[in-house]
Chain A
Amino acid sequence: MWTFFHKLGSPPWLYAISGSILKYLLPATLLALGVGMVWGLLFTPPDFRQGDSYRIIYIHVPAAAVALAGYYVMATAGAISLIWKMKMADIAMQCCAPIGAALTFVALVTGSIWGKPTWGTWWVWDARITSMLILLFLYLGVIALYEAYDNKAAAARACAVLSLVGTVNIPIIYKSVDWWYSLHQPASIKFTGESSIHPSMLYPLLLMIAAFYALFACALLLRMRAEILDRERRTGWVRKLLEADAV
Chain B
Amino acid sequence: MFGGLSFDICPGQLVQIEGANGAGKTSLLRILAGLSRYGFEGRVERHAPLLYLGHQPAVKAMLTPRENLAWHVAGEADFGAAAIDAALARVGLYGYEDVPSHALSAGQHRRVSLARLYLSNSPLWLLDEPFTAIDVDGVAALEERKAAHVAAGGAVVFTSHQPMRGNYNVRRLCLRRGLL
A, B: real partners: yes
A residues with a Cβ closer than 8 A to B are 85, 153-154, 157
A154 to B38, CA, bound (A): 8
Chain B minimum-CB-distance residue to A154: B38
Contacts of A157 in B (CB 8 A): 38
Query: Measured between alpha carbons, how far is A157 from B38 in the docked complex, in Å?
Result: 9
For the A-B complex, the count of residue pairs with Cβ-Cβ distances under 8 Å equals 5
**Separation of A85 and B38 alpha carbons in the complex (Å):** 8
B39 cross-chain contacts in A, Cβ below 8 A: 153
- Which residues of chain A come closer than 8 Å to B38, judged between CB atoms? 85, 153-154, 157
Separation of A153 and B39 alpha carbons in the complex (Å): 8
The DSSP consensus for interface residues of chain A is helix
B38 (CB) vs chain A CBs: closest residue: A153
Q: How large is the interface on B (under 10, 10 to 19, 20 to 34, 35 or more residues)?
A: under 10
B101 CB to nearest chain A CB (Å): 31
CA distance A85 to B39 in the complex (A): 10
Q: Can you pick out 5 interface pairs between chain A and chain B where the beta carbons lie within 8 Å of each other?
A: A85-B38, A153-B38, A153-B39, A154-B38, A157-B38
Chain B residues near A85: list those with CB within 8 A: 38
CB distance from A114 to the nearest CB of B (A): 45
Contact with A along B38-82 (1 / 0, CB 8 A): 110000000000000000000000000000000000000000000
Q: Closest Cβ of chain A: how far from B105's Cβ, in Å?
A: 32
Task: Tell me the nearest residue of chain A to B37, going by C-beta.
Answer: A85
A153–B41 CA distance with the chains assembled, in angstroms? 13
Question: Distance in Å from the Cβ of B80 to the closest Cβ of chain A?
Answer: 39
Give the Cβ gap from A85 to chain B, nearest Cβ, in Å: 7
B166 to chain A, nearest CB (A): 39
Residue of B nearest to A151 (CB): B39
* In the complex, residue of chain B having the shortest beta-carbon distance to the beta carbon of A85: B38
Q: Once bound together, how far apart are the Cα atoms of A153 and B37, in whole Å?
A: 11
Q: Identify the closest chain A residue to B41 (Cβ).
A: A85
CB distance from A20 to the nearest CB of B (A): 30
Q: Chain A nearest CB: distance from B11 CB in Å?
A: 32
| Nearest-neighbor residue (CB-CB) of B39 within chain A | A153
Q: Residues of B contacting A153 with CB < 8 Å? A: 38-39
Shortest B70–chain A CB gap in Å is 33
What distance in Å separates the Cβ of A206 from its nearest Cβ neighbour in chain B? Answer: 42
**A160 CB to closest chain B CB, in angstroms?**
11
Nearest Cβ on chain A to B56's Cβ, whole angstroms: 19
Alpha-carbon distance A85/B40, docked complex (angstroms): 11
Bound together, the chains give a CA A157 to CA B37 distance in angstroms of 12
Interchain CA distance A208-B173 in the complex, whole Å? 63
- In the bound assembly, the distance between CA atoms of A36 and B38 in angstroms comes to 46
Bound CA span A38–B29, Å: 63
Report how far A154 CA is from B35 CA in the complex, Å: 13
| Per-residue A-contact encoding for B18-50, CB less than 8 Å = 1, 0 else | 000000000000000000001100000000000
Question: Nearest chain A CB to B163's CB is how many angstroms away?
Answer: 33
